A and B are shown apart, each in its own frame.
Chain A
């Protein structure tokens, strides 16, 4: 039966969803800490070190502060949309993790449990769709604030994300031509025995990486926020936990896009020499999950590292880079990939 849904499956998936949500929230929480610490280290400072040992409780203190701050909704703001904005942004950020394969199958209670919430056969398209929905969170929030800086930030965010999604999609098509599948699980399994796709698609990966920075609104493409010019852009008027949601969702986005990049280009939960290890399948799965998270942490570190290195692009430079450099490069990459595949096939 196609639609045979047992109570056990529902329970299994619910537990998995809860765990993944918990992990992504936890990692997002500690990326704020990592961000502040690394920023400090790069600038020869010490960073937060008062809350707990090495300031390890700082994210909790920050969260608590945001919860107890006064909630201000501007008088001329559209109240419904003002609340809807951060909600959309947060929900879409959490939704993307559903199709990412966090590990291969785990064999417990006589059942095979896949460490992926949903093996959708259009996994990549799902991620792209949900990420595009996330723009509405920014747009709605910025528009509803009824503030010109927020509106400017919103316009920048929207146009930036739309232009970079194109290049991102084009760079991805070249990869999908090789994989022949849109399912993330398939893509990871293909990398299990062969080499990682970074070897086949170095330029594609580079374009994807740059676009991921733009999609996450991270420096050097943080024009939507622009701390110094637009006073935080689309969330100027936000306070309390609604601001917290915006800031927090950004870190979740960062985490998810790291996970997507690892899945697509760096072999997901595979690690070198995994087939020569003589351990039980369950141990191998757990090792795979650990390898996956290690790769994600390397990417998160890279995200933070770049933020404290590269200054912000000017708006026209951003658009020029997106439309005049990345998109032609992505199309060229696509053509070369196609030509090589044809050549090698015959």
Chain B
């Protein structure tokens, strides 16, 4: 049978010669290799004290963003839920009432917005598809939980806190 990639190497099945049969040269060579590793830099991070730096493109937990005046950007258009390959996002839209203009930026907002972190594959499609720049993936990851329902993050978990100062930039992603 012809191989697909031509990368497979035929196994050398020649009988061992005397030099190989006495094993010791190979053993000594191996000992040399392990001795070299003895002084190499360790690959381990001492985890709780020392955390591993994330890559600059790391995609972690989601947050829902606010605009410059601290109003929610999300308009519950549902594009993120449609884009989500894991179907992790659900939402319910509601209409903004008079007097709520300082809370929501547009006439429609998400009354309920849930992401199931067990389903989520952290692909970042929601972030890419959002026309209002409302959802972002941060550099933290979902902590462990004892129950499944603990992994369903609602709006109170996802929405970034109301900024104290008005002129403080609200953008995330440090």
Chain A residues packing against B (C-beta within 8 Å): 38, 41-46, 49, 206, 305-306, 308-310, 321
Segment of B25-33, B98-106, B129-137 engaged in the interface with chain A: B25-33
Contact of A305 (CB < 8 Å), options: B31, B39, B44: B31
Count how many chain B residues have C-beta atoms less than 8 Å from C-beta atoms of the other chain: 17
The reply to whether A309 and B33 contact each other, CB–CB distance below 8 Å, is yes
8 A Cβ contacts from B27-58 to A: 27, 30-31, 33-35, 37-44, 46
Q: Looking across the interface, which residue of chain A has its beta carbon closest to that of B24?
A: A206
CB proximity of B65 to chain A, nearest CB, Å: 40
Given A305-B31, A306-B31, A42 and B38 contact (CB-CB distance below 8 Å): yes
Contacts A38-B38, A41-B37, A42-B38 given; indicate if A309 touches B30 (C-beta within 8 A). Answer: yes
Return the 6 tightest CB-CB contacts between A and B, nearest first. Answer: A309-B34, A309-B30, A46-B44, A44-B43, A42-B34, A41-B38
Asked if residues B31 and A43 are in contact (CB atoms below 8 Å), the reply is: no
Contacts of A45 in B (CB 8 A): 42-44
Most chain A beta-carbon contacts within 10 A, residue among B40, B41, B42, B46: B42
Residues on A with C-beta less than 8 A from B43 are 44-45
**B46 and A46 contact, CB distance less than 8 A:** yes
Residues of B within 8 A of A43 (CB): 37
Contact of A44 with B40 in the complex, beta carbons under 8 Å: yes
- A42 contacts across to B, CB distance below 8 A: 34, 37-38
CA distance A308 to B43 in the complex (A): 17
With A305-B35, A309-B33, A309-B34 known as contacts, the answer to whether A46 contacts B27 (CB < 8 A) is: no
Minimum CB distance partner of A308 in chain B: B34
A-B contact pairs, 19 of them (CB 8 A): A41-B38, A41-B39, A41-B42, A42-B38, A44-B40, A44-B41, A44-B42, A44-B44, A46-B42, A46-B44, A46-B46, A206-B24, A305-B31, A305-B34, A306-B27, A308-B34, A309-B30, A309-B31, A309-B34
Interchain CA distance A49-B48 in the complex, whole Å: 13
Residues of B within 8 A of A321 (CB): 23
